[in-house]
Structure 1
Amino acid sequence: MKNYKDLIVWKKAHAFVLTAYKTSKSFPKEEQYNLTSQLRRAATSIPTNLAEGCGKFTQRDFASYLQNALGSSMEVEYLTFLSFELGYLEIDNFKRMDSGINEVKAMLISLLTKVRKEDTVKKK
């Protein structure tokens, strides 16, 4: 069991959620229950899965939550692109968000690889 607040990737993901909420405030009202909600839920899912996974006792269980967080990061990447394509995000905001989510994705992949490797080593 780990403290999720000690994970740098959790801190980055949490910061991204705050950015997603702030940025999506300007989305059209008709998107409130569609794109805005979906983007916010997917973004929130990343640090939430990290927090929940840290409460598990095995590396395999933790890896499962990391995989879920990675899936949500892919969803967020697409939703920010869609928001940009629809004209809801200015280019600067899109670039900032795209860079942020890609950093989180890279960190998740790195951590997932490490956790899976540790799990494999423990089994030998």
Structure 2
Amino acid sequence: MVTDFRDLRVWEASMALAEAVYELVVKFPAEERYGLATQLKRAAVSVPSCIAEGNARESTRDYLRFLSMAKGSLAEIQTQVQLATRLGLVDPALVDPVLAKATSVSLLLQSLRKALRGKLQQGDRSPFPIPHSRF
């Protein structure tokens, strides 16, 4: 059973995504450091933070709510990275690894949310209802 958010594969993958986003925004022009770069970093930090906070909550329903927020922040990242590419703020070749990490996190989040919804339907209110090896 998962007893700590740091044991979750989805949390680890989202941390790697946040690092990749931070590395990407360093390449932005100076005039964007406080605009789109700040928005991207905020969204990137939000994903693992929401996963961690949801895991620490006392109900599966709360956990799912925080995972939903993480999913929203992930969509922000994907949108903002693509916008940065369209605006010519970053080399498109640098974007592919970030988007690949985002896709991986999205799939892991989807799997975790599905498993938690199943546990919720069974009446399990534990915030740690599933083994971490799958997510």
Report the TM-score, using the length of structure 1 for normalisation.
0.94
- Number of paired residues? 123
Say which structure is richer in helix: 1
Aligned-residue RMSD, C-alpha: 1.3
Task: Give CA deviations for 1:38-87 in whole Å, capped at 9, x if unaligned.
Answer: 00000110000011111111111101100000010011000110111111
Identity of aligned residues (%): 30
Alignment of 1:18-57 (within 5 A): 18-57=19-58
How far apart in 1 are the matches of 2:53 and 2:3? 10
Report the TM-score, using the length of structure 2 for normalisation.
0.86
Residue 9 of structure 1: aligned partner: 10
Gaps of 5+ in 2: 125-135
Moved over 4 A (4+): none
How far apart in 1 are the matches of 2:57 and 2:105? 21
What amino acid is aligned across from residue 102 of structure 1 in structure 2?
Answer: T
How far apart in 2 are the matches of 1:71 and 1:117? 21
How far apart in 2 are the matches of 1:23 and 1:57? 36
Would you say the 8 A contact 1:2–1:55 is kept in 2?
no
